[in-house]
Amino acid sequence: AEYIQAIEVALDSDINYLDTALDYGNGYCEQVIGKALQGNSSVVISSKVPPQCDDWSPKPQSQIEDYFSPDWIVNRCETSLKNLQRECIDILFLHTWNLAWGHCTEWYEAMVKLQEQGKIRAIGISVGDRRASEANSHIEAGRLDVVQTVYNILEQEPEYTLFPMAQKHQVGIIARCPFSSGALVSNWTASHKFPEGDWRGLWTADDWLAKQVEMVEPIKPIAQNTGLSMSALALKYILNHQTVTSVIPGSSRAEHIRSNVSVAALPNLPQDILEKLQQLWLDGKVHGTYNGGA
């Protein structure tokens, strides 16, 4: 009920795009969205095909057939359609990617067939953390409509490695992890303990938290100088970039959803503030998500 209420608040706040994935709760998140929308086709929905082998960090030698065989893509799409109670998914992403698959096209042919059957509208790839440019060859070949990537104040690399290519070929960009897995909006210390089962306490490198805390410190006075909250500064930084189509902050609390939506109406960041934030990245004082995350 809490999640359905959050979706209703989002829709009442004029949000018209929801991002999910088959792997989120093993289909549960898709089912919640399907129940909440009940066939409302005015809301754009994206979902993602999980890797068949359940490996989220493919190596250069990894074979795409073990991750995204054509039959697997079709099968998972059908499952997502049932979960979402829809006849068509607006954007279907492959949920991870590998630079070594730049020459592969069988996955694309499977996606095109789904398009021709009216089961999906747009084809996308969700690239890994700190691997924003790994799908560039498929952008250049005209196979992609959308790319989802980590992009935030701490991880600015896509501005240089992905966005120019996307802009040239008119490919949409969905920015995920706008708050760097919570680091930009939480007053963590290096000794912070995450709740039991929280992925940030399970999957990250030993020094991930300390690095996040260290990187956020020089951003706080910049936010104070603008009069913006850290969350507003983080979202506005992303929305400032003309290549970004949408940003997907995750939230299940009504007040957070309304607060996030209100940022869209704020004026763009002043150029000097943008330059200060960009200089932090150029100087290496902030340097990415550091290891996995939403």
Annotated domain spans of the chain: 2-182+230-269
In one letter, which amino acid is 246?
Answer: S
Phi, psi of 172 (to 5 degrees): -70, 150
Closest CA to 83 of 122, 25, 147: 25
Q: Are 147 and 166 in contact (CB under 8 A)?
A: yes
- Distance (Å, whole) CA 222 – CA 210: 20
Q: Is 174 helix (H, G, I), strand (E, B) or coil?
A: strand
**Four-way CATH pick for 2-182+230-269: 3.50.50.60, 1.10.3720.10, 3.20.20.100, 3.30.70.2170:** 3.20.20.100
pLDDT in tens, the chain (294 residues): 788 999 999 999 999 999 999 999 999 999 999 999 997 889 999 999 999 999 999 999 999 999 999 999 999 999 999 999 999 999 999 999 999 999 999 999 999 999 999 999 999 999 998 889 999 999 999 999 999 999 999 999 999 999 999 999 999 999 999 999 889 999 888 888 888 888 788 777 778 888 999 999 999 999 999 999 999 999 999 999 999 999 999 888 889 999 999 999 999 999 999 999 999 999 999 987 655 443
Phi, psi of 147 (to 5 degrees): -125, 135
- Distance (Å, whole) CA 84 – CA 77: 10
Q: Is 263 helix (H, G, I), strand (E, B) or coil?
A: helix
In one letter, which amino acid is 140?
Answer: E
The string of DSSP letters for 106-142 reads HHHHHHHHHHHTTSEEEEEEEPPTT-GGGGHHHHHTT
Instruction: Tell how strand 146-150 and strand 120-126 pair up.
Output: parallel
> What is the helix (H) or strand (E) element at residue 175, kind and residue range?
strand 172-176
> What is the helix (H) or strand (E) element at residue 74, kind and residue range?
helix 70-84
Q: Is 176 helix (H, G, I), strand (E, B) or coil?
A: strand
Q: Are 137 and 102 in contact (CB under 8 A)?
A: yes
Please tell me the pTM assigned to this model: 0.94
Task: Let me know how long the chain is.
Answer: 294
Instruction: Tell how strand 44-49 and strand 17-19 pair up.
Output: parallel
Residue 289's pLDDT is: 62
- Distance (Å, whole) CA 280 – CA 218: 8
In one letter, which amino acid is 286?
Answer: V
> What is the helix (H) or strand (E) element at residue 214, kind and residue range?
helix 208-216
- Cα angle for residues 76, 138, 136 (degrees, 5° grid): 115
Residue 88's pLDDT is: 97
A 10 A CB-CB count for 280 gives 19
Closest CA to 238 of 285, 180, 165, 164: 180
Q: Quick one: CA torsion of 30, 171, 129, 76, rounded to 10 degrees?
A: 30
